[in-house]
Structure 1
Amino acid sequence: MGGSPVRLAAVEAPDAVLEPEINDELRELEAVSLDLETHTLSANTRRAYESAWRSFEEFCDAHSLEPLPAHPETVRWYVAWMSMQLDEHGLPRFSVATIRQRLAGVADRHLRDGVLDPTGHRGVSGLVRGLAKLRAVRPERKRPLLLDDVLRIIGSMEHDVYPAGVSAARDTLAIWLGFAGALRRSEAAGLQLNSVALHRLDGVHVHVGASKADQDNTLPDVVVLPYGETPSTCAPCAVHRWVALKNAVDRRQTMTLLFAYQLEEHVCGKAGTGPGLISSADLMSDAPLLRATYRNRKSARIHEQSVTGDALHTMLLARMAEAGMNPSAYGFHSLRAGHVTQARRNGASTEEIMRAGRWRKAETVNVYDREFNPAARNSVMRLGL
């Protein structure tokens, strides 16, 4: 194709209308409305949609097609083109999930401009379903890390050595947030000090706030980190150790804390173990909880900014390698998956696990059962073999 863009439009764009006369108050309201509009989607979703639209525009420009409003046939050609692209290894460059995300970006742009969404046409949706069946493969889920794995990883860290002990304290807390709290990496990275509340009976309450599964922040969001039977399995102790280190005023105080409070004794204020290292007053701040750290061979520094979710993922893989484990099939989500698998092996019900991990569908929890704990709730175990 060449020359002027081919206009294959399901619905023409509306005729231009004259902008009405508006006063200063209405202009201010318009600015507020535009700002509110930016919060309808998460930042990651907005970036994905913008990238998707750029890709669609480039395809249309290369083939002299009209991108807005686009005809369903144009979108079908776009889907077909994506299905044919290969990477350097000869494998499909675009997964079906990526193609659907690209189409969502195209749909979003059309709907925002007040024109018909061409991606909802049966010819487009049928094409995507056909591609999905053609490429049907079992999704690769991260393998779970069970309690023994977690203790092995934490036990391999240099907790009583300066400066390595500083990052070890932070990483230990991050791992317990992922395992005991069943937090996603983005949720753990987004926590603030005032997201954490000390609780005399339960240990620690964590208010997750807005998250991937609750962007409107309307669902119950309290996660419990209970006291551990031993200091080495006590997530509240990890909270106390890290926050105390963060509050240290100099290198000497940091080293004193590292050498004085190790994993052999409770430091969380559990009944009968003495006072905790911190109090509720130490948590009355909206500063990040898990902060980025820098260390060399002689010193360590705790930054003001939060660690990122990607950094937590990388950290866990590095810690696994240090513990002599192969991290290739794992990620930070392995801690959340491990929570489900370990709890189920210890007799927890689906309802209990859903409450702990804030899952809304039982089927989501059961996926982990079938994949990693197939003997659970399985009649084969009752055959008397």
Structure 2
Amino acid sequence: MIYVTGQRTKSGLKRLKKQQLLGKLNQPSLNQGFRLGHALMPFRLCLISVVIFAALGTPRQAQHHTAVHLSESTTAFAFNVESQDTYASTAPPSETSDSSVSNRQYQDSESPSQEPAVRNWEFGDAEILPSGVKDEWNRLIASLRDPDLTKLATSNLPSLLMGSKAASTTKQYLAAWKKWRNWASSMTGVRIFPVNPFHFSLYISHLAQLGAKSAADFAMAAVKFVHSLAGLSSPTDNSMVVLALQGFKRVTAAPILRKQPISADILANIFVAHGHPTASLAELRTLFVIFISYAGFLRFDDVRDISRSDCAITKDSLTIHLKKAKNDQYRQGTEVAIARTFKATCPVAVAERYFAVLGDPIDCNLPLIRRLTNSKRGLIPTSLPLSYTRTRETVLDFIKPFVPDITSYGLHSLRSGGASAAFNAHVPPLLISRHGRWRSEKARNVYLQPDSSSKLLPSMSLGI
């Protein structure tokens, strides 16, 4: 390894230029198949350190290429020589991957310490990923002989891997991984990555002491995701880890308190109170959320993303195009058809009233559920979407006068209420699943609440 240091002086720059940026070093004494490229010296650096890593080889190791990496954030730049036979690079000496020395590197015994070659991790939180993921990738990349394959491995494939989950899901996984990393770093002899199954079982036990059941679930998913990125088997498949989580859930098991479904009678009372001819834009906005969510079995995320251009109204129905949904991983889109009932509480009529007052053109792509602001003309819509918290507050304010306990209701009460009403009206389960975009019967049945007559139907049909 050869170090050449030059000051930012005219003589130093002229000397480097005269040497053609270390051209003297590219003499037969070092030229055994290597060809160093020329680089421009960045003039704004006060001190320039040129680090040349040259792996000597035999005449057969002829085809090597030089990769030049310039760093504007440090006072050094490096020429990294990458061989088709051996991958090598230099990393800043101050760079560490984890907080403890024992967890500083995960690498193959035949692979040298190296700067990660994978440079296309996404979502901004990628620094939370252990260096072992990239080290494992570097080990795999070192075996490649084709430069096109190397390019795919260092840029395209990492993007696909990080994009395999929704951005929000990846963010939650990385946050859970960070918690594991912090805990493991605080313990003596606990390796962060790859995760030891016994150590991870102890971590589940730690979360059990805290009563953090959801944190344990996210930890399992996060550890599996991170190991999958490196192509390694996950410790979450270990029987000890599985039993530890099952024991945690069994010991802390408690009844699940689900929100009560909204009934059609409650909706009728809400419409009488707020659907009068002089209803304000704010009232019509809340009515739109309530009636469309109920009739379309919609989640809040579905309603939030609807724009006027997604809605098509005919004399018989309102069709809403959902560009994306929670269970639509590949963004194929789906359509929800809501029938016109020709009643005062018709959801299509409520939508038409809201559209007329809102004033969005038919091709408008702004969200329909937007924040409002006061003006001389009264309330006018902004371009900003309404938050989940504010939407929930306004909906519960409308429901509160007509229920005994408002804490038993939420935005999911609208989706559950519509599905339960269809179930109690003996709508075929297949149609309910399609209308609500449920992929499984188990997920659908959680939302279905039979009424008193439906509860008696099985025993009434026994013929005794």
Shorter-chain TM-score bucket reads 0.7 to 0.9
Among 150, 165, 187, the alignment partner of 2:267 is 150
Residues 218-237 of structure 1 show CA distances to partners (whole Å, capped at 9, x for unaligned) of: 47x2211211232x211112
CA 1:334–1:72: 2 relative to 1, 3 Å: same
Superposed CA offset, 1:124-147 (max 9, x none): 011111222222323221110011
Identical aligned pairs, as a percentage? 20
Q: Which runs of 5+ in 2 are unaligned?
A: 1-99, 110-131
Q: Which residue of 2 aligns with 1:303?
A: 382
Deviation at 1:196? 0.9
Matching of residue 58 in structure 1 with residue 173 in structure 2: no
CA distance in 1, matches of 2:439, 2:452: 22
- Does residue 229 (structure 1) correspond to residue 352 (structure 2)? The answer is no
Structure 2 residue aligned with 1:108: 225
Distance 1:158 1:62 in 2: 59
- 1:157-306 matched pairs, under 5 angstroms: 157=274, 159-161=276-278, 165-200=280-315, 202-218=316-332, 221-230=334-343, 232-247=344-359, 282-295=361-374, 299-306=378-385
2:200 to 75, 97, 119: 75
Cα separation, partners in 2 of 1:158 and 1:233, compared to 1, 3 Å: closer
Q: Does the Cα contact within 8 Å between 1:106 and 1:119 map onto a contact in 2?
A: yes
Check conservation: 1:228, 1:234, Cα contact below 8 A: yes
**Structure 2 counterpart of 1:345:** 424
Cα distance change of structure 1 residues 47 and 153 upon mapping to structure 2, 3 Å threshold? farther
Distance, in Å, in 1 between the alignment partners of 2:229 and 2:191 is: 17
SS of the aligned residue for 2:312 comes to strand
Q: Does 1:45 align with 2:45?
A: no
Aligned partners of 1:190 and 1:246: how far apart in 2?
16
Q: CA deviation at 1:302?
A: 0.7
Of 437, 440, 454, the match for 1:376? 454
Kindly indicate whether the alpha-carbon contact (under 8 Å) linking 2:103 and 2:192 is maintained by their aligned counterparts in 1: no
1:355 aligns with 2:434: yes
In 1, Cα distance between the equivalents of 2:393 and 2:399?
10
Residue 148 (structure 1) shift = 1.0
CA shift, 1:27, in A, is 6.1
For structure 1, which segment, 316-325 or 64-73, has the greater mean C-alpha deviation from structure 2 after superposition?
316-325
Shift of 1:296: 8.9
Distance 1:130 1:283, change over 3 A: same
Cα distance between partner residues in 2 of 1:29 and 1:107: 21
Give 1:55's aligned amino acid.
Answer: K
> How far did residue 290 of structure 1 move?
1.7
Which residues in structure 2 correspond to 1:68-147 (within 5 Å)? 68-85=193-210, 92=211, 94-95=212-213, 97-147=214-264
Counterpart-to-counterpart distance in 1, 2:404 and 2:298: 22
Distance 1:107 1:324, change over 3 A: closer
- Using the size of structure 1 for normalisation, the TM-score is 0.76
Aligned residue for 2:280, secondary structure, equals helix
In structure 2, what is the Cα distance between the partners aligned to 1:137 and 1:211? 30
Distance across 2 between alignment mates of 1:325 and 1:298: 38
Q: Is the 8 A contact 1:186 1:308 kept in 2?
A: no
- More strand by percentage: 2
- Judge conservation of contact 2:271–2:345 (CA < 8 Å) in 1: no
1:112 shift after superposition: 1.3
SS in 1 for 2:191: coil
Q: Report the 3-state secondary structure (helix = DSSP H, G, I; strand = E; otherwise coil) of the residue aligned with 1:211.
A: coil
The structure with the largest helix share of the pair is 1
Residue 338 of structure 1 aligns with an amino acid whose one-letter code is G
| 2:445 is the counterpart of 1:320 | no
Is the 1:320–1:326 contact (alpha carbons within 8 Å) kept by the matching residues of 2?
no
Report if the CA contact (8 A) 1:351-1:362 is conserved: no
CA 1:116–1:32 in 2, change beyond 3 Å: closer, same or farther? closer
Q: Deviations over 1:126-181 (max 9, x none)?
A: 111122222232322111001111222233227555xx711111111111121001
Query: Secondary structure of the equivalent of 1:302?
Result: strand
Distance 1:156 1:37, change over 3 A: farther
Bigger Rg, which one: 2
* 1:332 corresponds to: 411
Q: Which has the higher contact order (CA 8 A, sep 6+)?
A: 1
SS in 2 for 1:283: coil
Q: Distance in 1 between matches of 2:217 and 2:320?
A: 35
- Per-residue CA distance 1:34-69 (angstroms, 9 max, x = gap): 555443212221221111011101110111322111
Question: Does the CA contact (< 8 Å) of 2:266 and 2:402 recur in 1?
Answer: no
Residue-pair matches, total: 335
Cα offset, 1:33, TM superposition = 5.0
Tell me how far apart the structure 1 counterparts of residues 376 and 406 of structure 2 sit (CA, whole Å).
25
SS of alignment partner, residue 296 of structure 2:
coil
Q: Give per-residue Cα distances to partners, 1:315-363, cap 9 Å, x unaligned.
A: 2122223556532011111011101221222232212322221223234
CA contact (8 A) 1:375 1:381 kept: no
Change (3 A) 1:84 1:25: closer
SS of structure 2 residue aligned to 1:205: strand
**What TM-score results when the alignment is normalised by the length of structure 2?**
0.64
- Displacement of 1:301 in angstroms is 2.5
Preserved CA contact (<8 Å) 1:181 1:224: yes
| Residues 300, 6 of structure 1: alpha-carbon distance in 2 compared, 3 angstrom cutoff | closer
Q: Provide the rounded CA distance (Å) in 1 between the counterparts of 2:421 and 2:351.
A: 22
One-letter amino acid matched to 1:117: S
Query: How far did 1:204 drift?
Result: 0.6
